[in-house]
Chain A
């Protein structure tokens, strides 16, 4: 892209007719014209590079912005919110002077091209978002979606992604405490690799990304800048994969977790000594993003000398330096008298740090190269005033037919024997089977503060060793439900994550989301997106859990076929004392099993309809958020007051899935009786929301049932923890050995 002579601002003004490759860089014609209009001249090559990456879908949210506003407009009043949407990550007050920051992001497209490095750098990116807020990262989670479990390409992608997440996270010394693994053919050519991270800090240590104060120095520190991932943001993440154009695959980035570890320690030490005015991590769009965002969030302008950027490859052009997505880099704004100390700390940690510019009292972002001014823009026009699209959206014409194809009318098992077979098939199906083979490749316990990790309902980390204060996080999302009804599907994802946090005894506080959808240029996809955002915003308002931030990933499709709409929701909760947590596993024989909530015939989008009938149709389970809130309160009170010894949320796979998991984890069986008014099939396999299974010690039964009765939560005694089999009285028996073989062998057999 480099041209001779150097394409300076003056040169651009003097040569208005030079054609620039705006289309190749992913800009639309009217967007390019807008750039020309803003600048009053044609952009230089470097300016075009910046606008094109920053105005890409991935960085500008140009299709999603108009809908995402609802998260602010409908935000519930919450005392817990310290920092909201718009910063690197949201920050939540968890009490005792601690604040927690958490966020989920997508790294879908790179992980398909190069599974190991794509997933690894996804972890690296989200961790840098956390340290940019001034927090020490304490845990990561990874919600994953792959194509069919038995498809050959899944065997290429999944092991690479899992190894990449494990490799990067384990090297950083961060426990991986949660997430999900879901298989569905719709993700075959477009797996979803979402990565979340949690960080902890004291209230006084919160840092925001801004550059204020003329004369302050801009310091780039971390890895050298190389030619990796150039244009990744504009081209890779914002265009649909098309088999015909392999040349569109740019080089992916390779991560170096040991460099990132140094970056964490170095950044936190600089924060500790209060050396930093503003800070920004370099992720998608690299320096273009960091300089324009820092400058536009501050009060002044910024002047940067690109020649001072340490390079790995001396042949890079200025455009390439601005677009490079080399990993493990950060940008800090530091007062002049503190620069020496900042550089000293970097030196101590063996981190390369260079002053590349300074904050000015103007309002322009000016970038120089070889003495010439190659960028002269209002940074706000780059970072914040990108195009905003009111994309047309329309309920797809197939939606009615899909919803009319009622799963409740599918043939049901006629005999107890047939029901037994279907249950066995269900717990052995890839989506319902144990994911131990995958999650055991991650380090769950490094740092020694992990209280709960997979396969528990939520991951839990101890924050304070003295008081036992802890935080819990759960991520959930069901693309099948969302396909049937995006509004309800998004609320079901929220409800499930909320319930999962409460099931472990923690109080849900706040939400982050990663919204994975197809092409926004398809009105049907845009409708799914709009509905899901509306559902999530309404749900968060009703549950009182604000959305603190998140990420939108669009263009998740291969050719014409979009993925199922997949809103992944992360809920963060707090628990006063992690010793009061509730695990999934059955603890003691003789404890009474209670089913909380109401069960009705709800099979639309269910695991049963998929596994037994390969069917997707009808309506997803109904959502009652007031019921979810009540259920959560009961679960949290029961946990705090020692009334329950184990609890498991009911979601895909229904009651039987929960019973089997609790039994296998606790190595104790269960005897169940089908309650009056329900048939065995509905009892075991319906996916009605707002339900949980709890095990109550006999001494606590009266207290527990009194509490549920007083609060109006249906609690049905359905059996007892007992023996070495799951026995459904009058129906069938499955030994734990048989269940274990079915449940735990599937994934290794397919993927090991």
Chain B
């Protein structure tokens, strides 16, 4: 078993009301020095079988068509080593 992580973020030019709300809250709570906050989504996919090029292409497809709204969001796909998992 391997884990593939898909990170989905709003495109940089798109307004992020949630991130903005977090950023506004920070100084109120005494956390200073943060100039901007952007909030995204992280998907952890446990993949059956080998994570080869074909599997990654499939995951890219599903991320593009389902996990991310590519009109307003970007995404990245990366493979993550799972601790204790057999190679």
Contacts and interface: CB of A to CB of B under 8 A. Distances in A.
A251 B72 contact: yes
Contacts of A350: 24
For the residues of A in contact with B, the DSSP-based class is loop
Nearest to B71: A114
A594 B55 CA distance: 68
Interface stretch (A202-210, A221-229, A511-519, A598-606): A221-229
Interface stretch (A144-152, A252-260, A362-370, A683-691): A252-260
Interface string B5-18: 00000111111110
23 contacts: A114-B72, A117-B72, A226-B13, A226-B15, A227-B12, A228-B15, A249-B71, A251-B11, A251-B14, A251-B72, A252-B71, A252-B72, A253-B14, A254-B14, A254-B16, A255-B15, A256-B15, A256-B17, A258-B17, A259-B17, A312-B15, A313-B12, A327-B15
A326 interface: yes
B69 interface: yes
Tier of interface size on chain B: 10 to 19
Interface string A708-747: 0000000000000000000000000000000000000000
Interface string B51-78: 0000000000000000001011000000
A251 B71 CA distance: 7
B71 A113 contact: yes
Residue of B13, B16, B17, B20 ringed by the most chain A CB atoms within 10 A:
B13
Contacts of A312: 15
Nearest to B11: A251
Contacts of B71: 113-114, 249, 251-252
A-B pairs with lowest CB-CB distance, top 3: A227-B13, A256-B17, A254-B15
A256 B72 CA distance: 15
A254 to B, nearest CB: 4
Question: Interface residues of A toward B: which range?
Answer: 20 to 34
B13 A228 contact: yes
Interface string A231-257: 000000000000000000101111110
Interface in B1-33: 10-17, 20, 24
Nearest to B21: A258
A553 B22 CA distance: 38
Interface in A87-127: 113-114, 117
B19 to A, nearest CB: 10
Contacts, number: 43
Interface of B: 10-17, 20, 24, 69, 71-72
A744 to B, nearest CB: 30
Nearest to A249: B71
Nearest to A114: B71
A254 B72 contact: yes
B12 A326 contact: no
Contact of A228 (B14, B20, B69): B14
A448 B28 CA distance: 34
A653 to B, nearest CB: 36
A87 B71 CA distance: 33
A254 B10 contact: yes
Contacts of A223: 15
Nearest to B13: A227
Contacts of A253: 14-15
Contacts of B11: 251
Contacts of B24: 350
B30 to A, nearest CB: 19
A69 B58 CA distance: 56
A249 B70 CA distance: 12
Nearest to A227: B13
A226 to B, nearest CB: 6
A251 B15 CA distance: 11
A350 B16 CA distance: 17
Contacts of B72: 114, 117, 251-252, 254
A723 B17 CA distance: 54
Nearest to A110: B71
A313 B16 CA distance: 12
Given A223-B15, A226-B15, A252-B72, 20 more contacts: A227-B12, A227-B13, A228-B14, A228-B15, A249-B71, A251-B13, A251-B14, A251-B71, A251-B72, A252-B71, A253-B14, A254-B14, A254-B17, A254-B72, A255-B15, A256-B20, A258-B17, A312-B15, A326-B15, A350-B24
Contacts of B12: 227, 313
Contacts of B20: 256
A352 to B, nearest CB: 11
A117 B11 CA distance: 14
A241 to B, nearest CB: 14
A255 B17 CA distance: 8
B85 to A, nearest CB: 37
Contacts of A230: 13
A111 to B, nearest CB: 11
Contacts of B10: 254
A255 B18 CA distance: 11
A1 to B, nearest CB: 14
Contacts of A255: 15
Contacts of A228: 13-15
A228 B14 CA distance: 6
Nearest to B16: A254
Nearest to B10: A254
B20 to A, nearest CB: 8
A229 B55 CA distance: 35
Residue among B11, B15, B72 facing the most chain A CB atoms (10 A cut-off): B15
B74 to A, nearest CB: 11
A312 B35 CA distance: 11
A114 B24 CA distance: 27
A114 B14 CA distance: 13
B34 to A, nearest CB: 15
A258 B72 CA distance: 20
Interface centre among A226, A255, A327 (most CB of B within 10 A): A226
B35 to A, nearest CB: 10
A114 B69 contact: yes
B14 to A, nearest CB: 5
B72 to A, nearest CB: 6
A117 B15 CA distance: 11
A404 B10 CA distance: 53
Contacts of A117: 72
Contacts of B16: 254
B16 to A, nearest CB: 8
Contact of A313 (B13, B17, B69): B13
Contacts of B15: 223, 226, 228, 253-256, 312, 326-327
A330 to B, nearest CB: 16
A230 B11 CA distance: 14
